[in-house]
Chains A and B, each alone.
Chain A
Amino acid sequence: MTMTNEPTSPQSPANAQGMLAVAIDGVSKTYPGADGGTLALSGIDLHIRSREFVSVIGPSGCGKSTLLRILGGLLSYDGDVKVNGVPVDGPSPDISIVFQKSNLLPWLTTEANLRLGAEIRRKPVTSASIAEMVDLLGLKGFEKNYPHQLSGGMQQRVSLGQALVLRPSILLLDEPFGALDALTRDRLNIELLRIWEEERQTVFLVTHSITEAVLLSDRVIVMSARPGRIVDDVRIDLPRPRSVKETRADPLFSTYVNQLSELMGVV
């Protein structure tokens, strides 16, 4: 615990056993409703090692966001979910979430929004670390702007920054760039890649973009439509550090994309 700059949990004793960041065993989820409710997830088993980048893809309504919310402690569930060895029964302090819709408060500036999460979680943040985050995410010059004065891509940068300021050991990303245009999305993926290569949080990314999943991940989980099940678990053996240009040029890249497209029934 001497390196305060590192994410805290990989060093914590809870994580020592097996270096498992996330352990999901036999999890299902039923949303209440008529006829016994809707079965959204069924028999999910998924283990994520610490510092692993895992993406989940699947058709709309396959329950991938539901799974993310269960991990985030925002939904009840049946089965067994552990985060850093601790059973999940509410939002964990080790986790930060970035949602598709920006997390920003419209009445706060970029700077204040970056601080917000840390203030609520009572984590001390210095002005230096905020300035560092501004630099890291290319937000320089926009510190005093309000969210409505920022583009969609900028807003998501700030949302991501707010999550990163918390120094989470696990980052849950729920289609964070899903509402952005392709170009902005590519650019943010590059940033995400760069940040992750440096900080190596455990990442759980929900996306509907196969290329995004292949580009970023160590593993891609494919889910089926309702009730959501895990259909396949594909290891992505592309060399790191990756870059959008070179990695996409790699013949293996298109092999993975084709394989996953077939699994998704796109091709």
Chain B
Amino acid sequence: MNDVFANERFRSAFDPLVFLVALGVAWEASVHLFDIKPYLFPALSDVFRVMWEHRWQMIIEGGYTLLEVLVGFAFAVVGGVVIALLIFFFPTARRTLYPMITTMQSIPKVALAPVMVVWFGYGLSAKFVMAFLFAVFPIIIATLGGLHGTPSNLVEHFQSLRASRWETIWRLRVPSALPSFMDGCKIAIPLAMIGAVVGEFIGSQNGLGYVILVSSSTAQTDLMFAALITIAVLSMVLFAIMELIGRIAWWRAV
């Protein structure tokens, strides 16, 4: 017994779990203890019950949101890498594209959501664009950082090997930038989720954001919490997947 509790790996899974359960118990107990109205703050057990009752809704609407996140994120990865490469390799792009993107970044993207609805309508495409807009910036910055971070002695070595420009990019710059790019993806994926949900808030008939909006207008606070928890779990799972994929670029600190 003592051995298990001394195990670092076991504790790093066990401790947060215990803490989470304790929080849940405190939530449940305080709701009953202080007799809080369910429309203000539903008991955790009620939230789980509603979640189960609406499981198909959760899965279907969650599916919509997931699709929006993944498509927006995919575009952000492709677009972000292309933009970063352009900025890195073409001085003209560095002088034009880069300042424009940093300026765009200072516009609150939440404020862009209504514009996207005007342009792309109430369907999925507006949400793709919102997820993309939230996710693309960290990917650009992280990829650029990675490209700049290529050790200068290796660049010189490639030069002395008479490597072509293309070979230097493909064999040296890209793998050097990979760990940093993966960091960018890890930051970007929860942001894509935020973008998608914000998009759903502004105008939509589907998605978990839409569920939150509707349940708040009908005072179904328990359903609202159920949707919130689903969003959080979805986001965490996506992050964990990114973390796993990120391990293919293990050479950051070595």
A72-B160, A121-B161 known; A148+B153 contact, CB < 8 A: no
List the A side residues contacting B254 at CB < 8 Å: 106, 146-148
A-B pair count, CB < 8 Å, reads: 47
Q: Indicate the size class of the contact surface on chain A.
A: 20 to 34
Chain B contact surface mostly:
helix
Minimum CB distance partner of A99 in chain B: B153
Number of interface residues of B (CB under 8 A): 17
- B157, A99: Cβ atoms closer than 8 Å: yes
Q: How far is the CB of A121 from chain B (nearest CB, A)?
A: 6
Partner pick for A105 among B159, B162, B175, CB 8 A cutoff: B175
**B160, A97: Cβ atoms under 8 Å?**
yes
Q: Which of B156, B162, B175 contacts A121 (CB 8 A)?
A: B162
B70 in the interface, Cβ–Cβ < 8 Å?
no
B153 touches A91 (CB 8 A): no
Within 8 A of B (CB), among A68-110: 72-74, 90-91, 93, 95-97, 99, 101, 103, 105-107
Determine if B153 and A101 form an interchain contact, defined as CB atoms under 8 angstroms apart: yes
In the assembled complex, B243 has its CB within 8 A of some CB on chain A: no
Q: Indicate if the CB atoms of B251 and A73 lie closer than 8 Å.
A: no
B156 touching A74, Cβ below 8 Å: yes
Give the contacts of A106-122 with B (CB-CB under 8 A): 106-107, 116-117, 120-121
Interface residues of B in 112-146 (CB under 8 A from A): none
Roughly how many angstroms separate A72 CA and B162 CA in the complex, as a whole number?
11
Pick the contact of B251: A74, A107, A116 (CB < 8 A). A107
Point out residues on A near B: beta carbons under 8 Å: 72-74, 90-91, 93, 95-97, 99, 101, 103, 105-107, 116-117, 120-121, 146-148
Q: Can you name 9 extra interface pairs (CB under 8 A) apart from A103-B157, A105-B154, A120-B167? A: A73-B160, A90-B162, A93-B162, A105-B172, A106-B251, A106-B254, A107-B175, A107-B251, A121-B161
Q: Which 3 interchain pairs have the tightest Cβ spacing?
A: A148-B254, A106-B251, A101-B153
